[in-house]
Structure 1
Amino acid sequence: MLTDINYHPIQGSVLQDQGYITLSPAAPLSHWVHSYWQLNVPLGRHCYRSMPDNCVDVIANLHDAEDIFIVTPYSSAMSFELSGPEAYFGIRFQLLGHKVVVSTPLENWEMLLSTDTRKADVIPPRVLNAIRESITFNLSFEERCHHVSASLLNAARQPNIDHRLARFIRYCHHNISSNIVLSDRTCSEFGLSARQLRRLTQLQFGLSPREFARVMRFQHTLDAIKRNPNGASWADNYYDQSHFIREFKRMSGSTPSELFNLSVLYNID
């Protein structure tokens, strides 16, 4: 992993048969790509609720090879209205994994992606072409993953990871159950000031340091609940149950029972 932490972000469940399928790549690609995924939207008007995870996703519309877009990190649940039948293919990068193929700081992406002609300034042309080819050739999900993997491996280069940012990420990961303090004194351990850390996380994630840390804690809690659904997994990471419920609803748009028992892709007709 680029940040030397074991981080496996979780999304909510899609209960429709074959509604959401994933594939995790093998090493070395797994060091910067968390997973490939495909969302299959049935006939009708639907809503898909996505969970924050601090990761970058490159997403392609499988019914339109030119419709490729990027979802950057966000700090609370996002809902997307979708009209089916439709299908989307995605590449979910590890934390900072996108930097293996993208050198432009995330903060500058919005301007570059405002027109399709500048999309290649963010996503390498060979990766864009491989995604489009996989759609045009009508490949299966597994075949598409392998086709895109080859282009990512060819486009990959040694990423320029700011070691100060990596230290901050490791700090958040290892202190997930503690009250994270981001004072100048704490930030000096990363090699910068609190103001410099805010600037750095905004540049590379589009989030404040505190937003990034809250999402990390939320994802850690999701993983704990998934492994032990009957336990009080929240107790290790939040002050009390009301604090946990409030934060969980802010992050996911639902209660824990709703998230784990209901589909995050649902019909709105």
Structure 2
Amino acid sequence: MLYERIQSPPSLSKFIDCFWVIESDDTTVHQQKIIPDGFPEIIFHYGDPYRINISGEWSAQSNQLLAGQIRNHFLLENTGRSGMIGIKFRPQGITTLFGTNMEPLTDDVVELETTLPGQFDPVSSMLLGKDHFSKKITALSSFLEDSVNSKETSDQLIDKVLQLIFTRNGVLSVSEIVDQLDVSERKLERSFKKFIGLSPKFYCRIIRFNYIFKLIKEQKLSWSELAYLSGYYDQSHFIKNFQEFTGEDPSKYFFEEETMANFFLNRPVEK
């Protein structure tokens, strides 16, 4: 299985975290767990279709998808060879670029056309075709650069809140955000749900959970040390939170295994 992350050009870095590619010629059916990472995505499948189980039942996915924020893990399953290219947006990136209200997309992966009809028509055929993924990334980058214009729906409050959350690795309360940014809690909640799709409190939980993977990647720690450094009250609280997001005990989780979940959660260190 090929997992590759491609940095977005500087002109798009305000909206897009990265592009990614997953490819495999193995037609053996494998189930993959997808775990919350705090970043919405647009995905194009140019391989065989995938199936998804996000609410207890399996269903076929379309080949062009928009994935909103998720609050729990879900399952994917290939039906043949894998070939997909994804745009991992900044948390507020889809709303900023396209004006989309993200709240109705929470805990859902929908057909791209239902939310952004016709938006990617100029490049969709090429993205779903047989060209090498490097050409697809180049074409997608150029298309998105042309799409960026003065109509973007930016929100300085959301930008400041997200900067604070990531600087603190999610270890802060809503009251701290309200006090530091001098904003009402009601305004914060309303804006956050539109741009992100979640409450700021729950989003902080996701980012704090993500920080666990960064710490494990950088240094060898005991579970109690890991719980303390990632801002949990105690080890039992840490284990409970880990289980809520992954469905697994951290001691039984394969952090080094090559999976989609680990590929997305093991983010490169930003310089």
TM-score range, shorter chain: 0.7 to 0.9
Partner of residue 141, structure 1? 133
Where does 1:149-228 land on structure 2 (aligned, <5 Å)?
149-158=141-150, 159-176=152-169, 178=171, 180-183=172-175, 187=178, 189-228=180-219
Question: Do the aligned residues in 1 keep the contact of 2:215 with 2:226 (CA within 8 Å)?
Answer: yes
TM-score (norm 1): 0.76
The code of the aligned residue for 1:56 comes to P
Question: Do the aligned residues in 1 keep the contact of 2:66 with 2:112 (CA within 8 Å)?
Answer: no
1:264 maps to 2:259: yes
Pick closer, same or farther for the CA change 1:128–1:241 going to 2, 3 Å: farther
Q: Structure 2 regions of 5+ residues with no counterpart?
A: 50-61, 262-271
Question: Do the aligned residues in 2 keep the contact of 1:131 with 1:148 (CA within 8 Å)?
Answer: no
Aligned residues: 241
Pick closer, same or farther for the CA change 1:256–1:26 going to 2, 3 Å: farther
Query: Could you tell me which of 22, 25, 31 is aligned with 2:5?
Result: 22
Per-residue deviation at 1:32?
2.3
1:48 maps to 2:16: no
Per-residue deviation at 1:164?
2.2
Partner of residue 32, structure 1? 15
Structure 2 CA distance, aligned partners of 1:261 and 1:229?
Answer: 13
Question: Do the aligned residues in 2 keep the contact of 1:45 with 1:83 (CA within 8 Å)?
Answer: yes
Structure 2 CA distance, aligned partners of 1:139 and 1:224?
Answer: 37
Structure 2 CA distance, aligned partners of 1:128 and 1:109?
Answer: 21
Partner of residue 5, structure 1? none
Structure 2 CA distance, aligned partners of 1:109 and 1:77?
Answer: 15
Pick closer, same or farther for the CA change 1:212–1:128 going to 2, 3 Å: farther
Question: Do the aligned residues in 2 keep the contact of 1:40 with 1:86 (CA within 8 Å)?
Answer: yes
Structure 1 CA distance, aligned partners of 2:209 and 2:105?
Answer: 26
Where does 1:103-118 land on structure 2 (aligned, <5 Å)?
103-107=99-103, 118=114
Structure 2 CA distance, aligned partners of 1:59 and 1:109?
Answer: 15
Per-residue deviation at 1:192?
3.1
Question: Do the aligned residues in 1 keep the contact of 2:41 with 2:68 (CA within 8 Å)?
Answer: yes
Pick closer, same or farther for the CA change 1:264–1:63 going to 2, 3 Å: closer
Question: Do the aligned residues in 2 keep the contact of 1:49 with 1:78 (CA within 8 Å)?
Answer: yes
The code of the aligned residue for 1:83 comes to T
Pick closer, same or farther for the CA change 1:249–1:128 going to 2, 3 Å: farther
Q: Which has the higher contact order (CA 8 A, sep 6+)?
A: 1
Residues 30-78 of structure 1 deviation map (CA, whole Å, 9 limit, x = unaligned): 3322222122353132212122122111011104797201001112222
Question: Do the aligned residues in 2 keep the contact of 1:202 with 1:208 (CA within 8 Å)?
Answer: yes
Per-residue deviation at 1:118?
4.3
Structure 1 CA distance, aligned partners of 2:48 and 2:116?
Answer: 17
Structure 2 counterpart SS, 1:98: helix
Structure 2 counterpart SS, 1:216: helix
1:120 maps to 2:103: no
TM-score (norm 2): 0.76
Structure 2 CA distance, aligned partners of 1:163 and 1:89?
Answer: 30
Question: Do the aligned residues in 2 keep the contact of 1:46 with 1:265 (CA within 8 Å)?
Answer: no
Pick closer, same or farther for the CA change 1:265–1:221 going to 2, 3 Å: closer
Structure 1 counterpart SS, 2:123: helix
1:87 maps to 2:83: yes
